[in-house]
Structure 1
């Protein structure tokens, strides 16, 4: 994303003085977990990371130009003017012990060569879905399954997107019964946070059913948030 000179000067001044107090991890933090947010082009990945991050998110959005015409499918997102070309990054502290580091992947197929580095080391993933373009989610889920990364599906409720019952969505996405499906508004902090909690509950359930959970997952839902 391009910044003007005053923005750049402000950032350099902030860095010279060290990290901002609100960017520091709480001293009580014991576990950190890497989570990736994936999905097709324009489904709201950058929006979700930005809405839920407690620090100023790092984005790599660039202005879309005529060079992308005929390459990027803008069906359903005709008003989109910027696109992620590397990754998004944010952080959220869920309780006094557990911190999630969020990595958003680029949606366009021409940038998918970056996915391996972003997905590597992830404990779990959120697959963000737009019901107007369900087919755009298939390859993202295939990549996660190939990498062995558990995931949940979050349906981003765009104002003009059709609503479908969960059983129909499962069938259309060819999901197993064990994969949670939730709806969300990626613009909202509470809604995006609930998606992440759903993912952690899913990871915890998988760990306790399949063997001893990892320390990070054990620390996930606080007693008040556990199902």
Structure 2
């Protein structure tokens, strides 16, 4: 999968009035570069997600990407899942859905795909789903809404359906949190983000991205109705979890 991407320069210049981070048209236009340079092993996490989705997708069901952004996850899942299984991509950003539709059209996938703009805190349009993925999405939803959202996702899934969740996390032991954050910022520096870009984005995300501990995410998944829960990826303060509805 290859596509020309625009370089992320959203926080490159000093901003006098720093805004809360949002997935607007500017971010949508550079999102693929932003996420690949900001999330460690992003391509590997996406590959693992597509493999797991391909293993668990069931004939006669739907596969959902909640917070689908520009459609990268669906493009990779398309290679692993039979063409007669419908994909549904949902995002609350019209700009992201526009970019997603544009990208998917460019690749001319041979399957039914629905793209919808929806606020997951208001509605969870998940029905007959054997696979639901949320890649770096739930962390942007206010904690008060998360359990209810995950419970409704579980209710909309088939028996033995799986929910694949990738999140930024807090450490279980506070003494290691600073270490992991420092290593994460080192990762960003290796990907040519300046100190100004790192600090401004951190401030913009401060009240927008609210991570849980891995144990808190696992408890939430079990309380929502999932019977089996397993961590399949971990890098310092990022993790991937798969949960099965029994």
Q: TM-score range by the shorter chain?
A: 0.3 to 0.5
Give TM-score, length-normalised by structure 1: 0.35
Give TM-score, length-normalised by structure 2: 0.33
